[in-house]
Each structure stands twice: as structure tokens, then as C-alpha cells.
Amino acid sequence: MTQALLLLLIGFGSGLAGVLTSVASLISYPALLAMGLPPVSANVTNTMAVLFTGAGAAAGSRPELSGKREIILKLSALAAIGGAIGAALLLLAPASTFHVVVPFLIGGSSLFLLAQPYLARRRAEHATDPPHRPSRWLYAAFLASAVYTGYFGAAGAVMILAILAAMYPTWTAQQSNAVKALVSFAGNGAAAIGFAFFGPVHWAFVIPLALGSFLGGRIGPSVARRMPGTALRILAATCGLAMAVKFAF
């Protein structure tokens, strides 16, 4: 019972952080490692749970999602394809390969997270540009970020958020964040299907972590409308870099 309550609180924190700073996995994944799960098992269990962050965020972001149905459907389909490819790579690659790349994935994600203010300024500089169709390169980058999200997931939503800002520079940060939550849900959902049948999922960990993630994701949009996530973003990135160094050694 104590462990279940702890997982519920961790899930709530990761869900809230996932909406505000797109780093849900950088909180929940190391927590699962600390509870004794091996890296691959912690990764697939985490993907199953944080999937519900997107569901909660989508439920709380209806005003921001209004009028974007066609774009969301197109990007969600692309994210689902990428998520399925990433999940297949994780399940087929040797576990030793995953152990080697984890520090680089976490470290790269954390550095990408720290670059968010610069990306936000670039988005603001182009906010007055006339509407344009996203280039094929941006769609390719979006697909690559979805593959990464399906393979590992930590801070994958940060990459998706940055790419969405480049694809649709006239959107507000709240609108990009809401769409990010929904398309990330599609990518994680595709990966979760494969993990449910073929991955070493610890279901006893999933249930309380998923419930907490949903609640955190549901509350997150209302909090995001009122406060910046700068401090939490820097804290999560710093912890991520420290974790990457630890795993490297």
C-alpha cells in the first residue's frame, strides 16, 4: 500500500511536469529504476503509465484544441507510426544496446529541454509571419521524434513541442502544448500496444502510476494557463543531466 501511494504521487508529479515542461519520463523513469526495475522493464512500464498523462491533458485542453481537428488527426497518425517503429526497435534490440544508449538519450533530452527558451524566442520572432505549410523536413523531424518517443520517451515530448512550434509559429505556447499532449498520446499509445503484448511490463506498478499521471495531466492545463514552468524545467533538466552522468559511469 505504501508503494502504491508513492507511485500515485510520483505519477501525479510526472503528469503535472509532463504538461508544464514535457518531461514526465524524467521524473517517473528514474523512480521506477530506484524501485528495482531493470532499465528496459522500467522503460516499458513507464510508457504504459505516462500514456495517461496525454489523456488527462487532452481532457483539460479543449479550448486550446478547438479548430485543429484536421491537423491533430494527421499528426496523430504520423506519431502512431513513429511510436510503433520505436517500440519495435526497443523490443528487438539487445538489452545491452539499450544500457549503452540510455545516458546519451537522457543527456540529449535534458540539453534539448534547456534550449526551450531559445526555441520560444525563435517562435515569437516568426509569430507575425503569414501562415505557411510545414515543410517535408519538419514532418520528417516530427516522425523521428515520434520514433524516439516510442523507443525511450524521456523528454520526447520536448522535441515534439519544439517541432510543432516550428511547424505552426502563429500558435500560442498553450495551443502548441495542448496539441503536443494529444499527438504524444497517439505515439505512446501505439508503443504501449506492442509493449502490452510483448514487453516486460510490471502491471502492479502501472495502475497507481497511471492514475496519478492522469490526474496530473488533467490538472496541468489549468496550471499552465496561470504560471510558467521555467523553474521546474531547469530542475528537471539538471536532474536529467546528473542522471545521464551517473548512468554513463
As a whole number of angstroms, the distance between CA 159 and CA 172 comes to 17
Whole-number Å distance between alpha carbons of 201 and 197: 9
Residues 2-41: tens digit of each pLDDT? 889 999 999 999 888 878 777 777 788 889 998 999 888 9
Q: What is the mean pLDDT of residues 70-82?
A: 94
- Per-residue confidence (pLDDT) for residue 66, from 0 to 100: 86
E strands in the chain: none
Are the C-beta atoms of residues 168 and 184 closer than 8 Å to each other? no
Higher pLDDT, 230 or 88: 88
Q: What is the domain partition of the chain in residue ranges?
A: 2-248
Mean pLDDT computed over 112-119 = 72
Model pLDDT, residue 92: 85
pLDDT for res 127: 55
C-alpha to C-alpha distance for 249 and 205, rounded to whole angstroms: 27
User: Who wins on pLDDT, 96 or 64?
Assistant: 64
Classify residue 154 by burial, with Cβ atoms within 10 Å: 0-12, 13-18, 19+.
Answer: buried
CA distance 63 to 228: 19
Count how many residues are written for the chain.
249
pTM of the model: 0.74
